Amino acid sequence: MRIISGYLAGRSIKAVPGQGSRPILDRVKAGLFDSLQFGNWELGDQAEQDGFVGRRVLDCFAGCGSWGLEALSRGAGEVVFVELSNDAVRVLKENLSELGLSRAKEGARTEIKRTDVFSYIRRANRSFDLVFLDPPQYQGLWVEALQTIAENPGLIASEWQANEEKSKRGQGGLIVTKLHPKEYQPVEFKTLRLVKTKKTGSTLLLFHTVC
């Protein structure tokens, strides 16, 4: 695995060994992050070159940190990684260290929370501009994770607070969920709105905002 774009482009990322690791394909990650960086949070066509600058990102079921590391490379201001597995946390720490991200780098902050994702979401008393969900497959955890967020919608920023001018646009936060297409079933959440789905091979991405 590698970082696709940004000031860390081309740098390698260690994967978590074992069958539980589900690294996202480069072409899927590139398409996703380019749409987020060069489009608006509603995934439209309007170019926005600095789409990640200053963003507050929550990387749930973080594994080796591939999602959050890509966001940092593209200018995210803060990434919180949530991961319960000791092996995954060890690899994540190694990746952060080797990329020079263990401490504040160019104003960016990183933090690892070794805890259960659902517990973290329930206890969180802050908001994020972008939340990544990449749970283990075929366990229904994607539904449980989205439902947990729906019960605590304050986790998702109502506006991008990193930049006052852009906050005036009213763009809120976004949840991106990765799953296998065979796992998908239509599910409605009281406080969340599905704004887009994108299928690439054996990967399905869901995009939700707060209603």
Q: Give me the residue label for tokens 């075929």.
A: 138
Angle (nearest 5°) at CA 156 between 162 and 148: 155
Q: What is the pLDDT along the chain (211 residues), one digit of tens a residue?
A: 899 999 999 999 999 987 555 566 777 888 888 878 765 544 444 334 457 888 899 999 999 999 999 999 998 999 999 999 999 999 999 999 999 887 655 556 899 999 999 999 999 999 999 999 999 988 999 999 999 999 999 999 986 544 444 433 346 789 999 999 999 999 999 999 999 999 988 999 999 999 8
Side-chain half-sphere exposure of 6, counting CA atoms within 13 A: 25
- Total count of residues recorded for the chain: 211
Helix and strand numbers, DSSP H then E, in the chain? 6, 7
**Burial 95-114, CB ≥16 within 10 A → b, else e:** bbeebebeeeeeebebebbb
Single-letter amino acid, residue 17: P
CA dihedral 95, 74, 117, 147 (to 10 degrees): -160
Domains and CATH numbers, the chain: 26-210 (3.40.50.150)
Q: Model pTM?
A: 0.88
Judged by phi (left if over 0) then psi (alpha if -120 to 50, else beta), residue 119 lies in: alpha
